[in-house]
Structure formats: structure tokens, C-alpha cells
Chain A
């Protein structure tokens, strides 16, 4: 079965950079769109965007365009979410999720365990 394992919790200061990861296994990584979802403390879910590891085609939600960078390295079956200058408002849990093979990610039955990011001075 599809497995998604995310990198561990992070505590960073405002202005610092960060990259978190999502490693996939038990499926053909390149063939599945991967999405990122944010959950701020005590709040609901927000779709940030999706990337297709096969060709790195990336779609960002307008709210997150320019705020984060998504990338993927299909040679090591890992997707990344990157910030160049963190803000306190980036404090959240970030989930990765995959869609169905060869289809744009619309809904997901497979989710990572989440990465908790805390940004505080």
C-alpha cells in the first residue's frame, strides 16, 4: 500500500529558511500528483498546491503562490515544500497527500503523518 513519510517537527525563527519533505514508497512515485495541505493551529484544512514528480508540473493555490516553493526528486521518491523566509503565520501542520495514478490530484486516500512547523522568535 502507498506509504508517505514526512520529515520531523521543526522549530524555526522568523526570517529563516526551511525545507520539509515527504517520501513515498510502495508505488511508482513519478506517476502520482502530490499535494500539500496546511492546517493552522485549531483550524481547518487549506489546499496549498500540487506537483507532478514525473515532469515537476506544479500548480499553486493563489493564496500560496509566491509564499512557498514545491519541488520533487523522483530519483529518491521525495517531494519538498520550501520557505525562503518564514513568518510566525507559517506556524501549522503541513500534510502531503497523493492522488490516483496518472490523474491530477483531486482527492486523496493517502496522506502523510504531517509535519508540525513552529515559527517563533
Chain B
């Protein structure tokens, strides 16, 4: 099973500042990789798939990059509505696996 490790566990960022989230896979997953956002009481929301493709309706301030084992999600200018837990997911090797999540807070 591919283990996904996210860092940091919690990220505090001032409004309008950049937030950088990382995810590392224990084995290469090529670009078969996604990011999700989950706010309290809600289902996950797809942000990015294929490592860097923004899902329909996702603001341009969300940018995904990386391949192989190291991936990054950048929120270029943090908004209050971006407060959430962010999960990475690989779909290169079955079973698909998620990271443990990064909680993004407003400083």
C-alpha cells in the first residue's frame, strides 16, 4: 500500500498570504494524484486531479504541482472560505490511499 504523508499537520496563514501544502508518497505515483478540500460537516470537494489539473469551478488561486513522490498544493492568496482540511490522494496503486490531512487556519 502506498503511504501518503502530508505536511505540515496544521498551517496558519494570514488572509491574502500564500499557503503551501505538501504531500509525499512512499512510492512513485506518477501524476495519478488528487487534492481535496473538506470543511466541517461537509463531504470532500475535489480541487485538483492528475496532479495539476484544476477541477471545474475551482478558483485559480489553487495550484497543484509535482510528480512521482512529491506534490504541492499552493493557495496563492488565502481567503476566509479556504479554512478547511486538505487531503491528498493517490490513484496509481490499488488500494487508493489518502494522506492524513493538513488543517489550514487563518492567522
Contacts and interface: CB of A to CB of B under 8 A. Distances in A.
Contacts of A113: 43
A45 B44 contact: yes
B56 interface: yes
Given A44-B98, A47-B97, A107-B49, A114 B43 contact: yes
A63 interface: yes
B59 interface: no
A47 B99 contact: no
Contacts of B45: 111
Interface stretch (B20-28, B65-73, B74-82, B86-94): B86-94
A112 interface: yes
A3 to B, nearest CB: 12
B74 to A, nearest CB: 19
Interface size class of B (residues with CB under 8 A): 20 to 34
Interface in A88-121: 95, 106-109, 111-114
Nearest to A93: B43
A94 B91 CA distance: 19
A61 B98 CA distance: 13
A73 interface: no
A95 B89 CA distance: 15
5 contacts: A37-B44, A46-B98, A95-B44, A106-B91, A108-B46
Interface of A: 37, 44-47, 49, 59, 61-63, 95, 106-109, 111-114
Interface of B: 1, 32, 34, 36, 38, 43-46, 49, 55-56, 87, 89, 91, 94-101
